[in-house]
Protein backbone atom coordinates (compact mmCIF):
# COMPACT_ATOMS: atom_id res chain seq x y z
CA UNK A 1 0.00 0.00 0.00
CA UNK A 2 1.23 3.48 -0.80
CA UNK A 3 2.12 5.53 2.24
CA UNK A 4 0.24 8.78 2.32
CA UNK A 5 0.19 11.87 4.43
CA UNK A 6 -3.32 12.90 5.34
CA UNK A 7 -4.63 16.27 6.42
CA UNK A 8 -4.84 16.11 10.18
CA UNK A 9 -7.81 17.10 12.25
CA UNK A 10 -7.47 18.88 15.57
CA UNK A 11 -9.04 17.03 18.47
CA UNK A 12 -8.71 16.97 22.24
CA UNK A 13 -7.95 13.26 22.62
CA UNK A 14 -4.77 11.54 23.84
CA UNK A 15 -4.78 8.70 21.31
CA UNK A 16 -5.23 8.78 17.55
CA UNK A 17 -5.41 5.68 15.41
CA UNK A 18 -5.45 5.59 11.60
CA UNK A 19 -6.59 2.59 9.57
CA UNK A 20 -5.84 2.45 5.84
CA UNK A 21 -7.77 0.09 3.60
CA UNK A 22 -8.82 -0.25 0.01
CA UNK A 23 -11.82 -1.80 -1.63
CA UNK A 24 -12.91 -2.24 -5.23
CA UNK A 25 -16.49 -1.26 -5.92
CA UNK A 26 -18.73 -0.08 -8.74
CA UNK A 27 -21.36 2.62 -8.58
CA UNK A 28 -23.39 5.01 -10.66
CA UNK A 29 -24.72 8.43 -9.79
CA UNK A 30 -28.43 8.51 -10.75
CA UNK A 31 -28.47 12.11 -11.98
CA UNK A 32 -28.24 13.62 -15.46
CA UNK A 33 -25.90 16.25 -14.02
CA UNK A 34 -23.39 13.48 -13.18
CA UNK A 35 -22.40 13.17 -16.85
CA UNK A 36 -20.37 10.02 -17.51
CA UNK A 37 -20.61 9.12 -13.82
CA UNK A 38 -24.30 8.34 -14.36
CA UNK A 39 -23.10 5.14 -16.05
CA UNK A 40 -22.02 2.13 -14.02
CA UNK A 41 -18.27 2.31 -13.45
CA UNK A 42 -15.80 1.16 -10.84
CA UNK A 43 -12.98 2.38 -8.64
CA UNK A 44 -10.39 1.02 -6.31
CA UNK A 45 -11.23 3.19 -3.34
CA UNK A 46 -8.54 3.98 -0.80
CA UNK A 47 -9.86 4.91 2.64
CA UNK A 48 -8.18 6.20 5.76
CA UNK A 49 -10.25 6.27 8.93
CA UNK A 50 -9.02 8.38 11.85
CA UNK A 51 -10.25 7.39 15.31
CA UNK A 52 -9.40 9.21 18.53
CA UNK A 53 -10.09 8.75 22.22
CA UNK A 54 -8.74 8.90 25.72
CA UNK A 55 -9.46 5.37 26.97
CA UNK A 56 -8.13 2.03 25.78
CA UNK A 57 -10.28 -1.09 25.90
CA UNK A 58 -9.61 -4.22 27.97
CA UNK A 59 -7.17 -5.44 25.27
CA UNK A 60 -5.19 -2.21 25.35
CA UNK A 61 -6.63 -1.01 22.02
CA UNK A 62 -8.33 2.23 21.18
CA UNK A 63 -10.05 0.01 18.60
CA UNK A 64 -8.89 -3.17 16.92
CA UNK A 65 -7.67 -2.45 13.37
CA UNK A 66 -9.28 -5.68 12.17
CA UNK A 67 -12.71 -4.58 13.38
CA UNK A 68 -12.57 -1.39 11.30
CA UNK A 69 -11.45 -3.29 8.20
CA UNK A 70 -14.24 -5.80 8.69
CA UNK A 71 -16.85 -3.03 8.92
CA UNK A 72 -15.85 -1.36 5.66
CA UNK A 73 -13.78 -3.66 3.44
CA UNK A 74 -15.84 -6.78 4.05
CA UNK A 75 -19.06 -4.89 3.45
CA UNK A 76 -18.23 -2.94 0.28
CA UNK A 77 -15.36 -4.77 -1.50
CA UNK A 78 -16.36 -6.11 -4.92
CA UNK A 79 -19.92 -4.83 -4.70
CA UNK A 80 -22.17 -2.40 -6.56
CA UNK A 81 -22.60 0.39 -4.02
CA UNK A 82 -26.05 1.34 -5.30
CA UNK A 83 -27.27 -2.10 -4.16
CA UNK A 84 -26.54 -1.19 -0.51
CA UNK A 85 -29.99 0.30 -0.07
CA UNK A 86 -29.61 0.38 3.71
CA UNK A 87 -27.07 3.21 3.33
CA UNK A 88 -27.46 4.54 -0.22
CA UNK A 89 -30.69 5.67 -1.87
CA UNK A 90 -30.97 6.12 -5.64
CA UNK A 91 -33.93 8.47 -5.09
CA UNK A 92 -32.29 10.85 -2.61
CA UNK A 93 -29.39 13.07 -3.79
CA UNK A 94 -28.12 13.22 -0.19
CA UNK A 95 -27.72 9.42 -0.29
CA UNK A 96 -26.39 8.87 -3.86
CA UNK A 97 -23.09 6.92 -3.66
CA UNK A 98 -20.89 9.92 -4.53
CA UNK A 99 -17.43 10.10 -3.01
CA UNK A 100 -18.73 12.59 -0.46
CA UNK A 101 -21.63 10.38 0.58
CA UNK A 102 -19.49 7.22 0.66
CA UNK A 103 -17.02 9.01 2.96
CA UNK A 104 -19.86 10.17 5.23
CA UNK A 105 -21.36 6.67 5.20
CA UNK A 106 -18.04 5.13 6.24
CA UNK A 107 -17.98 7.59 9.13
CA UNK A 108 -21.55 6.70 10.13
CA UNK A 109 -20.83 2.95 10.06
CA UNK A 110 -17.60 3.29 12.05
CA UNK A 111 -19.08 5.70 14.60
CA UNK A 112 -22.12 3.46 15.17
CA UNK A 113 -19.71 0.61 15.95
CA UNK A 114 -17.59 2.79 18.27
CA UNK A 115 -20.69 3.97 20.13
CA UNK A 116 -21.25 0.35 21.20
CA UNK A 117 -17.74 -0.13 22.58
CA UNK A 118 -16.82 0.22 26.25
CA UNK A 119 -14.26 3.00 25.70
CA UNK A 120 -16.41 5.11 23.34
CA UNK A 121 -13.72 6.23 20.87
CA UNK A 122 -14.67 8.79 18.22
CA UNK A 123 -14.24 8.76 14.46
CA UNK A 124 -12.85 12.22 13.71
CA UNK A 125 -12.10 11.94 9.97
CA UNK A 126 -12.58 9.78 6.90
CA UNK A 127 -10.29 10.36 3.93
CA UNK A 128 -11.58 8.63 0.79
CA UNK A 129 -9.62 8.56 -2.46
CA UNK A 130 -11.72 7.56 -5.46
CA UNK A 131 -9.06 8.01 -8.15
CA UNK A 132 -5.35 8.83 -8.09
CA UNK A 133 -6.24 12.52 -8.49
CA UNK A 134 -9.55 12.85 -6.61
CA UNK A 135 -10.40 12.46 -2.96
CA UNK A 136 -12.80 13.66 -0.32
CA UNK A 137 -12.48 14.24 3.41
CA UNK A 138 -15.44 13.91 5.75
CA UNK A 139 -15.31 15.27 9.29
CA UNK A 140 -18.32 15.41 11.61
CA UNK A 141 -19.30 18.98 12.50
CA UNK A 142 -18.61 18.44 16.19
CA UNK A 143 -16.24 16.10 17.90
CA UNK A 144 -18.20 14.70 20.82
CA UNK A 145 -16.18 13.91 23.90
CA UNK A 146 -17.43 11.12 26.12
CA UNK A 147 -16.46 12.44 29.55
For 128-144, how does the pLDDT look when each residue is reduced to its tens digit (9 = 90+)? 999 999 999 999 997 55
Give 143: exposed, middle or buried? Use CB within 10 Å, 0-12, 13-18, 19+: middle
Confidence of residue 2 (pLDDT cuts 50, 70, 90): low
For residue 3, being part of any structural domain is answered with: no
Is residue 36 part of an annotated ligand binding site? Answer: no
d(CA 14, CA 22): 27
Q: Tens digits of per-residue pLDDT, 19-50?
A: 999 999 999 999 999 999 999 999 999 999 99
For residue 7, being part of any structural domain is answered with: no
The catalytic position among 11, 16, 37, 73 is: 37
For residue 147, being part of any structural domain is answered with: no
For residue 31, being part of any structural domain is answered with: yes
Number of domains in the chain: 1
Q: What is the CATH number of the domain that holds 89?
A: 3.30.479.10
pTM of this prediction? 0.93
For residue 144, being part of any structural domain is answered with: no
In 3-state terms, what secondary structure has residue 109?
Answer: helix
Concerning whether 100 is annotated as a catalytic residue, the answer is no
For residue 124, being part of any structural domain is answered with: yes
pLDDT for 142 equals 75
Concerning whether 11 is annotated as a catalytic residue, the answer is no
Query: Residue 36 is part of which domain span?
Result: 15-138
Concerning whether 130 is annotated as a catalytic residue, the answer is yes
For residue 127, being part of any structural domain is answered with: yes
Q: Is the pLDDT of residue 146 over 80?
A: no
For residue 73, being part of any structural domain is answered with: yes
pLDDT for 117 equals 97
Q: Residues 83, 17: contact at Cβ < 8 Å?
A: no
Amino acid sequence: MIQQIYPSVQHPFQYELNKDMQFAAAHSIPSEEAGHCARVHGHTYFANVTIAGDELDSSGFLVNFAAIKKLIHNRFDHTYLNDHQDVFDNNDPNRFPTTEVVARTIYEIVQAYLDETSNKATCVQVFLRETPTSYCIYRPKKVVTHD
